[in-house]
Structure 1
Amino acid sequence: MRTFNWAILGPGRIARKFAADLAHVPGAKLHAVASRSLAKAEAFAAEFGASHAVGSYEELLAVPGIDAVYVATPHSEHHAHTLLCLRGGLPVLCEKAFAQNAGQAQEMVRVAQEQGVFLMEAFWTRFFPAIAQALELVQSGVIGEVKHLVADFGFAAPFEPEGRLFNPALAGGSLLDIGVYPLFISQLFLGAPAAVRAVSTPTGTGVDANCAMALAYASGATATLFSTIAATTDNRCVLYGTKGQLQLLGRFHAPTGVRVQLLGEAEAQEFPAPTAGGGYQHEAAHVQQCLAQGLRESPLLPLAFSLALMELLDAVRREIGLRYPGE
């Protein structure tokens, strides 16, 4: 079996989870770690068995044998760091939100295509087995025509004005960090909305603490979506159809199965879909499959989908009046 040498650019909290999950991916090996701090890169590399550690992102381009780079820096940096890697000929799996805005995302896609290099948004939810189950059930008409979708994601974060979640310069706020999940799931099941409305509650730094969204679709369906960094919510997603309803079990962004309740039936059907590890291994394995086939983008999460999602995020930000520095 071929070995795929992964590099991590930005060894923070989510990168730790990704690195740990590479142990569940056949043929995957953490090969290199890049940080602005050499000491941090070396400690991360030692913990996860990487052969190379560098103290700047630019130095990563000189490390031999890299097959793919996982970009896990703050949202505000995704654009620059992805372009750095793409222009160096390195395939990129870029953490969501894909970029700060649609303009940045469009440039990332253009450069990937010009360079002929693989690029994918690291939207791990898309690759959970339960998502494949849910899509199959909905598309086969089990719950009839979908009329409404509800999804929420929230946790209570301590107010740290300079921290990633609250700093406007780091594209902070609930929307880009976790509101992207309800928007993602609505786009996956319902497509692009015909109308978008949103309201928000600002934090002391001006980014959104709460964001409530209402979407309408040409099909006649609607969606009610919510994100917050001020309270813990159920992290729940339910699709309501003309024949019944479907719920993603567990936290919907990392689902453990699907429950279907049909109208007129006393008992709900459950379809468990357990996963080993933390769940990041699914997207890593998919990237390896794409690279092995010589693909430049994912058939399950194509670049057009990520661009549409960024445009939707921009539309919500226009509704709530949120702009980041430099925009």
Structure 2
Amino acid sequence: MSRLNGNRAKAEREGLKVNVAILGAGRIAHSMAKTLLAMSNDDRYKNLIAPYAVAARDGQRAAEFAKQYGFPVSYGSYDELMNDPNVDLVYIATPHSLHAEQGIGCLKAGKNVLVEKSFTANTAQAEDLLRVANETGLTCTEAIWPRYMPSRKLIDDVIASGQIGEVKAASANLGYAVIGKPRMLDPNLAGGALLDVGVYPLNFLDMALTDTSDRTIDRIETSMLPYETGVDAQSSTTMFYDDGVMAMASSSMLATSDRTGVVWGTEGYLMCQNVNNPESLDIYDTEHQLKGRIDIPAQLTGYEYEVASAANAVLDGRIECPEMPHADTLKIMRLMDRLRAAWGLKYPFE
């Protein structure tokens, strides 16, 4: 058990913070390190978390990473991280195919986990990881940052207010030219656009269309263009819900898209600039005239919200975060499995 799990009173009494360690030292790990450093110097978070350690398979790389960001501890193996009793929360920043194994290892070692999206490579792995979370009673949550951001409630509030009328459809897209990254092309690492890029449009649509209703997907039409290594390069999906609402998602790792998410209503539409990290929300009427603009609150990096939520879950002894409960993680994993099945895409380890 973590030294702080469910011990908020002890933490406050003894001035203890949630020690966060990063497992992996790649690009996304650097983004998280910058976030933790900024949080440790911000009045809103400095008494909640502490940047503590980083682990990599190469000890020198880990040491250089720790020195760069001022982390007091580094490890040349993941096992060393798992065996350190001072680690409270582990951010898993490795390829999708490793998340389940590493997450389970951390949980069994008494460490709470914040697992970078995609949560795992498939639903079976997700169920295995969440089963161990339930058995250990430790926090286990998916790091899909728009789920935790203030913009999520702002979008919900616009839809609930009736400003765009009754919602009938929505669309979302995300594309980056990232084929220069070997990880993205490797089927053994669950590469491809879907788990890395396409997961964002799917989450945007799920939040916008199902958070406040019981609608479920009735039918899916989807197609995919494969890359030469066999992973999905870009895809288009239309989902038809049981109440007649329609949603369209597209993703690409070949090209840069406009990243917009739009919710279409009978009285207008809501446009979100950048479904990956919302920058503004614009409300239009039926004549396409701008009715209002909602600015997104200033943020450190955008990752701070998921870290704070996970840290608070640790202190409260909760196994999940309200912004991304296990049921929602499983829903998205099952949807992505369904899409891959329609495409005939399997990873070598499945």
Is the shorter-chain TM-score for this pair beyond 0.5, marking a shared fold? yes
Match of 2:208 in 1: 189
For residues 194 and 221 of structure 1, what CA distance do their matches in structure 2 show?
Answer: 10
Out of 17, 22, 28, which is 2:31 matched to? 17
Offset at residue 264 of structure 1 (A): 5.4
For residues 67 and 140 of structure 1, what CA distance do their matches in structure 2 show?
Answer: 40
Q: Which amino acid aligns with 1:135?
A: D
Moved over 6 A (4+): none
Q: Which amino acid aligns with 2:207?
A: L
Offset at residue 219 of structure 1 (A): 2.1
Q: Secondary structure at the match of 1:112?
A: helix
Q: Secondary structure at the match of 1:220?
A: coil
For residues 168 and 208 of structure 1, what CA distance do their matches in structure 2 show?
Answer: 9
Correspondence 1:1-327 to 2 at 5 A: 2-25=16-39, 26=45, 27=47, 28-159=49-180, 163-191=182-210, 192-249=216-273, 251-263=274-286, 266-327=289-350
Offset at residue 142 of structure 1 (A): 2.4
Q: Secondary structure at the match of 1:94?
A: strand
Structure 2: segments with no counterpart, 5+ residues? 1-14, 40-44, 211-215
CA contact (8 A) 1:154 1:235 kept: yes
CA contact (8 A) 1:196 1:315 kept: no
Deviates more, 1:180-189 or 1:91-100: 180-189
Q: Which amino acid aligns with 1:310?
A: M
For residues 124 and 257 of structure 2, what CA distance do their matches in structure 1 show?
Answer: 32
For residues 236 and 197 of structure 1, what CA distance do their matches in structure 2 show?
Answer: 21
CA contact (8 A) 2:171 2:263 kept: yes
Structure 1: segments with no counterpart, 5+ residues? none
Q: Which amino acid aligns with 2:134?
A: Q
Offset at residue 276 of structure 1 (A): 2.4
Q: Secondary structure at the match of 2:99?
A: helix
Offset at residue 293 of structure 1 (A): 2.2
Q: Which amino acid aligns with 1:252?
A: V
Q: How many correspondences in the alignment? A: 324
CA contact (8 A) 1:130 1:248 kept: no
Quickly say closer, same or farther: Cα 1:194–1:262, change in 2 above 3 A. Answer: same
Q: Which amino acid aligns with 1:307?
A: L
Offset at residue 232 of structure 1 (A): 0.8
Offset at residue 157 of structure 1 (A): 2.4
Q: Secondary structure at the match of 1:109?
A: helix
For residues 58 and 226 of structure 2, what CA distance do their matches in structure 1 show?
Answer: 33
Offset at residue 286 of structure 1 (A): 1.4
Deviates more, 1:313-322 or 1:23-32: 23-32
CA contact (8 A) 1:257 1:274 kept: no
Q: Secondary structure at the match of 2:217?
A: coil
For residues 34 and 85 of structure 1, what CA distance do their matches in structure 2 show?
Answer: 12
Q: Which amino acid aligns with 2:38?
A: H
CA contact (8 A) 1:168 1:206 kept: yes
For residues 96 and 66 of structure 2, what CA distance do their matches in structure 1 show?
Answer: 23
CA contact (8 A) 2:100 2:126 kept: yes
For residues 13 and 113 of structure 1, what CA distance do their matches in structure 2 show?
Answer: 30
- When the two chains are superposed, the root-mean-square deviation of aligned CA atoms in Å is 1.5
Offset at residue 183 of structure 1 (A): 0.8
TM-score with structure 1 length normalisation?
0.95
Query: Kindly, what percent of the aligned residue pairs are identical?
Result: 37
Q: Which amino acid aligns with 1:94?
A: V
Q: Which amino acid aligns with 2:310?
A: V
State the Cα deviation string for residues 229-249 of structure 1 (Å, max 9, x = none): 111110110000112101113
For residues 267 and 248 of structure 1, what CA distance do their matches in structure 2 show?
Answer: 13
Offset at residue 136 of structure 1 (A): 1.7
For residues 339 and 232 of structure 2, what CA distance do their matches in structure 1 show?
Answer: 11
TM-score with structure 2 length normalisation?
0.89
State the Cα deviation string for residues 61-119 of structure 1 (Å, max 9, x = none): 22131110000100111111100101111100000001010000001111100011110
Q: Secondary structure at the match of 2:90?
A: strand
Q: Which amino acid aligns with 2:24?
A: G
State the Cα deviation string for residues 216-259 of structure 1 (Å, max 9, x = none): 1112111111000111110110000112101113x221012211
Quickly say closer, same or farther: Cα 1:229–1:136, change in 2 above 3 A. Answer: same
For residues 194 and 202 of structure 2, what CA distance do their matches in structure 1 show?
Answer: 9
Offset at residue 263 of structure 1 (A): 2.8
Offset at residue 2 of structure 1 (A): 4.3
For residues 178 and 158 of structure 1, what CA distance do their matches in structure 2 show?
Answer: 12
Q: Which amino acid aligns with 2:245?
A: A
